[in-house]
Chain A
């Protein structure tokens, strides 16, 4: 027959001015335990005395209870724990000491300090980025002088990863963007009976903006995060240190192959995205607007020229470079921990997309000035 555990008890009886607390039963932190507030009611005794009667098993719950009683008693009321088991008293003592020892930690900062620190941090980041771009340039020049040192195999592997492997997602996103553009254009143009100009809207906006930008965003999310995570993980694992102590610059070994791969692959993907965007518009025109594909194609051809294609190419080359540089830098800056690698990947995507949008705005102004 197994003994049934009895519930934890804390019975209070007034003896003169004193309050006697009789502890008994099975005190489990996972089970129900009496609360001191209900046990004492609204009595205000001169002293609290503990007694033990039929105490079976106990754990931290009893220690907490006794500690609560002691804290309630404070300096004014006497708290007599002599009847309690020694181990309970020792643990309560430990808890008391630990509570007293708490080191005050103030992590709060005032508003001005926060803004100031953030401003300093932005300046530091810009400088680090500029330093890194400089380092990459020097390294690239060094590798041009001695092309034997360039790691072609890594570069080709990265090309496959960031180029060929990205084709499905780039296809889907650019096709859908073309489709959406065609629908949006049709809403307005239909009112004027100018359905055919949907081809111009889709063609121009895809070539001049959406193709390169969408490819950039997809690559920032896909490849940028991967670069930062790979390099960050290598840093956490001391692999970067191992390169440095061999006298191999991590930039030569890790950054330049990735930079070359992404700079070559982004324009190719952007051109492919442009084609699919135009194709998306053509599908909408053929099915919804009833414009035959041949008419759509002729209209597209009549309105876009080599300048538009070159705009897309120039943009995508620069986008590729920016994504590669930003993500590799974030990877190399990563803290040496799992959380650090995660933050580096996030930060790589955010920085890449931000730089991409800034660069796109700069291009808009620049091409306008150049009349491209």
Chain B
């Protein structure tokens, strides 16, 4: 070995860091109904990753499995290499605080003010005192352009503001990953675009990995680094890649049809 320490040779080749999220052979069921089967994909650190597909294809189901609201029937979900789907409650709780979730209806706790909403994760997982917590709340609300709304209740805000407040709460613990469930649902196009800008801005400033469940084409094309498309009949992923490339050159007509709103189908139909 020419005098080299044996360990240097025997040591495993340094691997690339594990992906932020690695899903292997996931099967999702509701009772006896298999919604998704054999789903495998991975999301890189800092990636803006979209899960797309038509209504009822299992997007939200996949999300609920990723964030631990449902237990998969089979398969594993790993966050930076750590298994999230095993039964070790302490390990799961440790992982839970590394991600934030923005729900479809923001899901702010309606009996609490925005300050209390954003502060609750901090109370739960940090030892910060009240003044420090308040400072972080102010900062997070300012990041989503809601400075000064600390004492408002969710019911007093508009839909777009509630979404942003939900995002502030999701960002409270500076998570490594943020999940979004249909972020533009129920928002007008302008508000929706502003939310997209906010998402990009946060990714740029914090380097957060983002997983977004959506079927909003405008957002998909402006934000997504990569998408996976789910299909109801295939019960799994039918395409994976950059949205623009999929729209232009996917072999699967279902994918092209979805990404072009079915207009491409009409076009090829006419050309035949």
Contacts and interface: CB of A to CB of B under 8 A. Distances in A.
Interface in B99-145: 99, 101, 103-105, 107-111, 120-121, 124-125
A244 B68 CA distance: 8
B158 to A, nearest CB: 16
A241 B107 contact: yes
A246 B102 CA distance: 12
B69 interface: yes
A242 interface: yes
A241 B69 contact: yes
Nearest to B169: A242
A298 to B, nearest CB: 50
A307 to B, nearest CB: 42
B96 A242 contact: no
Interface string B165-198: 0000100000000000000000000000000000
A245 interface: yes
Interface size class of A (residues with CB under 8 A): 10 to 19
Contacts of A241: 64, 69, 101, 103, 107
A15 interface: no
B101 A245 contact: yes
A247 B109 CA distance: 15
B124 A245 contact: no
A154 B69 CA distance: 25
B101 A239 contact: no
A248 B124 contact: yes
Contact of B108 (A154, A233, A239, A247): A239
Interface string A233-264: 11001110111111110000000000000000
Nearest to A244: B69
Interface in B63-94: 64, 67-69, 92-93
A239 B110 contact: yes
Given A237-B105, A238-B103, A238-B107, A245 B120 contact: no
Given A244-B68, A246-B121, A238 B105 contact: yes
Nearest to B94: A247
A246 B125 CA distance: 9
B124 A242 contact: no
Contacts, number: 48
A247 B93 contact: yes
Nearest to B100: A245
Contacts of A243: 109
Contacts of B232: none
A207 B174 CA distance: 57
A244 B99 CA distance: 12
B62 to A, nearest CB: 15
B107 A239 contact: yes
Interface residues of B, number: 23
B105 A245 contact: no
B114 to A, nearest CB: 14
A245 B69 contact: yes
Nearest to B67: A245
A118 to B, nearest CB: 19
B109 A242 contact: yes
Contacts of B107: 237-239, 241-242
B93 to A, nearest CB: 4
B97 interface: yes
Contacts of B92: 247
A234 B110 contact: yes
A246 B120 contact: yes
Interface string A136-177: 000000000000000000100000000000000000000000
Contacts of B64: 241
Interface in A291-322: none
A247 B124 contact: yes
Nearest to B95: A247
B146 to A, nearest CB: 17
B109 A245 contact: no
Nearest to B173: A246
Pick the most buried of B68, B105, B107, B111: most chain A CB atoms within 10 A of its CB: B107
A237 B110 contact: yes
A276 B19 CA distance: 68
A337 to B, nearest CB: 13
A313 B85 CA distance: 46
A241 B169 CA distance: 14
A301 B124 CA distance: 52
Contacts of B67: 245
B221 to A, nearest CB: 27
A238 B109 contact: no
B122 to A, nearest CB: 10
A232 B103 CA distance: 17
Given A237-B105, A242-B109, 15 more contacts: A233-B110, A234-B110, A237-B107, A238-B104, A239-B107, A239-B108, A239-B110, A241-B101, A242-B107, A242-B108, A245-B68, A245-B69, A247-B96, A247-B97, A248-B120
Interface of B: 64, 67-69, 92-93, 96-97, 99, 101, 103-105, 107-111, 120-121, 124-125, 169
29 contacts: A154-B111, A233-B110, A234-B109, A234-B110, A237-B105, A237-B110, A238-B104, A238-B105, A239-B107, A239-B108, A239-B109, A239-B110, A241-B64, A242-B101, A242-B103, A242-B107, A242-B108, A242-B109, A242-B169, A244-B68, A245-B69, A245-B96, A245-B99, A245-B101, A246-B120, A246-B121, A246-B124, A247-B93, A247-B124
Q: Which 6 A-B pairs have the closest CB atoms?
A: A238-B107, A247-B96, A242-B107, A238-B103, A247-B93, A245-B101
Interface of A: 154, 233-234, 237-239, 241-248
